[in-house]
Amino acid sequence: MSFKQKKTLGQKISWWFNTRIAGYWRIKVAGAVERKISASPDTITFNQDASEMQAPSKDGITVILTAYKRSEYLEQQIEALRAQTIPPKEIWVWSNRSDTELRDVSKLADRVIASNSNFLFWGRFALASLVRTKYVAFFDDDILPQPRWFENCLQTIESGHDGILGGSGVLLPVEGGYSSKHKAGWNGNLFDTPVQVDLVGHSWFMKKEYVNYMWREEPVSWDNGEDIHLSYMALKYGGIKTIVPPHPQNDQSLWSCRPDFGKVVGRLNVATYKTKNHKNTRSEVVDHHVKDGWKVVKKLQS
């Protein structure tokens, strides 16, 4: 048989003080110090908070823009998007980390995602999985859509030309490798009807569900070629073609980009294609997919 030893009055007072008084202040002071340390350097404050996410919709367009080193053009882009004959429901901005400051553009867009890594062009396509509208559109930062661009895209789909739509299409050479010598769209040959191409760049418009094709396989290169990869993956796994909607010469209101804007802004020495030569990488991506069975449009037409 064992007996509990009774505490003396002094032991009871000491136990009560250490567990109730001293313990309480240790926790409270330690917590305050921890909060002070974490709140100081690790907090990003946005100028404006986003509203709650909407419920999934069977229609509507969400636009995803990017901010890197040319975020000063976002205001013009967003004004052009709000002025569309069929305006988007929401405009999101994926803000990549650059060697300049990470700008807060939350007052311009409906939602902003600020990254402390530069995920290049892949981040915006990954973000598209969170979109709640039927359609999603992407624009490079040197592209200014004209007032009826979304109207043009939707009419193209309704006319039976559904797919990965874009404003600058490339027809790849039959002999392999990458070349943008033959193009359709605002910076290439102009057509009054939809044109099938191998890939599109600068801007994209598609049903949200088509974005998932991009992630069916690991990209050949994470440095470049996301446009090539998307179009081939969509064709391989979904039979989804890549199409340039009409860009009639006599009606620029339907165009994906105001041509002088794209050319002027694109000349700045901050564009990736201006600072790095990715032609070899892009050729490797194309050749890899051709070996996998990709039959380019010119080969199908020959």
Q: At 120, which CATH number?
A: 3.90.550.10
Supply the pLDDT for residue 24.
55
Phi/psi of residue 247, nearest 5 degrees:
-130, 75
From the list 104, 111, 117, the residue with the least C-alpha distance to 46 is 104
* 300-236-118 Cα angle (round to 5): 115
Supply the pLDDT for residue 212.
96
Q: How much is the mean pLDDT over the chain?
A: 85
Give the total number of structural domains in the chain: 1
Cα gap 182→159, rounded to integer Å: 25
Domain annotation covers residue 12:
no
Domain annotation covers residue 267:
yes
Domain that holds residue 95: 61-301
Domain annotation covers residue 34:
no
User: Between 208 and 277, whose confidence is greater?
Assistant: 208
Supply the pLDDT for residue 273.
45
Report if pTM > 0.75.
yes
Cα gap 256→261, rounded to integer Å: 11
Domain annotation covers residue 1:
no
Cα gap 25→181, rounded to integer Å: 73
What's the helix, strand, coil split of the chain in %, to 5? 40, 15, 45
The answer to whether the beta carbons of residues 127 and 93 sit under 8 Å apart is: no
Kindly list the distances between the CA atom of residue 205 and the CA atoms of 4, 9, 14, 167, 256, in Å, as whole numbers in the listed order. Answer: 78, 79, 72, 9, 10
